[in-house]
Amino acid sequence: GAGVSQSPSNKVTEKGKDVELRCDPISGHTALYWYRQSLGQGLEFLIYFQGNSAPDKSGLPSDRFSAERTGGSVSTLTIQRTQQEDSAVYLCASSLLDAQEDYTFGSGTRLTVV
Amino acid sequence: RKEVEQDPGPFNVPEGATVAFNCTYSNSASQSFFWYRQDCRKEPKLLMSVYSSGNEDGRFTAQLNRASQYISLLIRDSKLSDSATYLCVVNVHSWGKLQFGAGTQVVVTP
């Protein structure tokens, strides 16, 4: 597609439920990143994919968070047993190889845990 | 201590005026520097890269001071459309993991 696509755009879930967030990167972009942004805060790095492998998952806050990428394209971020502190905007970005100036963000998924 | 620190503002600027603000970074090994713009409830978008020699893009000028570990952004002849949050972004790695400041809010008033 023309840009990075994320779905859903908004998600309200009950505490304790699992959620899946999806990211469709720009076609041909091999690098994919997940960040989250809490209200009034900067973006917090979660995980980086190069192709289907994740050489850096150091930002995942707990073992309730996991992510995968298949076919070098679509990525899914899964949060198990959601907590209220997981409420944030989850942003995905992709880039061609590691070209930082080619970084493009999706419009994000706003997650609210009630 | 945060790795990238910014004055949150807001900087209230009359239309047509000049505004400038800095950010500081803690890791002296940082390799690349950027300013991103983020509008309310929107995703961040690259405004400009910051080069060692300083660089200009129209009304926007960015400077890098490696010795003091800060970068700056200056906006001349401010427009109402410049109202946004400006994110200072630093890269330490050879690959694309970026470290973001929390942003400086700029409000341009008529």
| B96–A95 CB contact, under 8 Å | yes
Strands in A16-101 per DSSP E: 19-24, 31-37, 43-50, 53-56, 65-69, 75-79, 88-95
Instruction: Please report the sign of the dihedral spanned by the C-alpha atoms of residue B31, residue B90, residue B11, residue B57.
Output: positive
Nearest to A100 among B4, B44, B96 (CB): B96
Q: Number of CB pairs < 8 Å for A and B?
A: 54
> What pLDDT shows up at residue B87?
96
DSSP assignments along B23-72, one per residue:
EEES-TT--EEEEEEE-TTS--EEEEEE-TT-EEETTEEEEEETTTTEEE
Q: How far is CA B92 from the centre of its chain?
A: 17
Q: What is the pLDDT of residues B64-80, one digit of tens each?
A: 999 999 999 999 999 99
Q: What is the pLDDT of residues A49-96, one digit of tens each?
A: 999 999 889 999 999 999 999 998 999 999 999 999 999 999 999 998
Nearest Cα to Cα of residue B9 among B101, B94, B110: B101
